[in-house]
Amino acid sequence: MFRALGSSNAGLLAHVAFWIVLAIGLAIGELWTRRAAVFVLLWMFGVLVLPRFGAMWGVLVIPYVALLDIVLVLVVFKGDVHLS
């Protein structure tokens, strides 16, 4: 499982950001428990199942989690987060 977390800082950041945004969404009430459970199941699929298909699919775990992060930010914050 730890191989799926990625060996780079970007991979670790993607996973940490996923859990932080998920917690924020639950805390402010923008994310229902069912919807949060769907996101967690999708994350589990990416982390646990994708690497089992082969090395090529295992490489796609970090982009998959990053895509989940983007969708989660759009759902929780109802749009993009402005950095400036």
* pTM (two decimals): 0.78
Q: Count the helix, strand and coil residues of the chain and give each as a percent rounded to the nearest 5.
A: 75, 0, 25
pLDDT band at 58 (very low <50, low <70, confident <90, very high): confident
Rounded to whole angstroms, the Cα distance separating 76 from 59 reads 27
What residue type is 63 in one-letter code?
A: P
pLDDT band at 3 (very low <50, low <70, confident <90, very high): low
Residue 17: is its pLDDT beyond 80? yes
Q: What is the mean pLDDT of residues 52-73?
A: 84
Is the alpha carbon torsion for 40, 25, 15, 10 positive or negative?
Answer: positive
Helices 61-77, 33-44: axis angle to 10 degrees equals 170
pLDDT value, residue 38: 93
